[in-house]
Chains A and B, each alone.
Chain A
Amino acid sequence: MSTTSGNRETERKAGGRSSGPTVKDIFVEGAIDPAFIATSIAKHATRMDIGAHEIFLGQVRADAVAGADGHPSATTVSAIEYTAYRDMALERMTVIREEAFAKWPSMTCLHVHHSLGSIPAGALCFMVFASAPHRQAAREAVAWVVDRIKAELPIFGREVLSDSTHLWKTNR
């Protein structure tokens, strides 16, 4: 079902564009391990043109749903089960990525990961990581990419509640 190319690990270098945009698979099964993030940071140590990293991390929040739909007052979100329309999401992400590099041409690299499957409250489900020579491009790009992903990628979240019922998450 995926249209992902086999070239997932190749990160685009600034100014190094050759053919069409590479479709990268952003989806990971399960939560994002903090150790994976540490490793991602460490991988940039060989890039001497980078002066700034900016990272956004999304964490599953144990929202209280007191009173909503007749749930008892102690009901909270215990996990979110993420699913996606994978082919459309990866197409949209490829466009967003290309637009981000056009908007912030100094950006050295951009890494995006989003979880699928059941992610417990407190675990990480989303990472946007940009690097650039200076902080402004990295900061602006991450904020912009996070907002675009939340608005445009067909990702769906089934909130499993502590009373074993569920609700469907909607981005505001």
Chain B
Amino acid sequence: MRILLFGSIAEKAGASSIEFDAPSLAALRQQLIARIPDLEHMRYAIAVDRVVMNEDRPLAGSEEIAVLPPFAGG
């Protein structure tokens, strides 16, 4: 699945999206930290189909996943 990255997280990863497969949000979080170690020290949220998800949930692979650093609008 394609994972969209934004702001400081895209900067750390050196990419605006990355590809990998994860069966759940918890598994995805682990893979993200393995791929972008700086995430461990950063505040971020994960959006599934454009809604921020805090709880674990299974992923089918067709969802739109995004990793979001702190918001700064306004």
Contacts and interface: CB of A to CB of B under 8 A. Distances in A.
B68 interface: yes
Nearest to B43: A170
A169 B71 CA distance: 8
Interface in B17-57: 43, 47, 50-51
Pairs of residues from A and B, 9 with the lowest C-beta to C-beta distance, nearest first: A156-B7, A155-B73, A157-B72, A169-B72, A88-B50, A170-B70, A168-B8, A150-B74, A153-B73
Q: Which of A88, A92, A171 has the most CB of B within 10 A?
A: A88
Interface of B: 4, 6-8, 43, 47, 50-51, 64, 66, 68-74
Given A85-B66, A87-B50, A88-B66, A150 B4 contact: no
B48 to A, nearest CB: 11
Interface centre among A84, A85, A92, A152 (most CB of B within 10 A): A85
Contacts of A75: none
Q: Which of B50, B68, B73 has the most CB of A within 10 A?
A: B73
A107 to B, nearest CB: 20
B74 A58 contact: yes
Contacts of B64: 87
A157 to B, nearest CB: 4
A95 to B, nearest CB: 10
Given A85-B6, A85-B66, A156 B47 contact: no
Most buried by B among A92, A114, A170: A170
Interface in A103-127: 114, 125-126
Nearest to A153: B73
Contacts of B71: 150-156, 170-171
A126 B74 contact: yes
Tell which of A151, A155, A156, A170 has the most Cβ of chain B within 10 Å.
A156
Contacts of B7: 83, 156-158, 168
A149 interface: yes
A158 B6 CA distance: 11
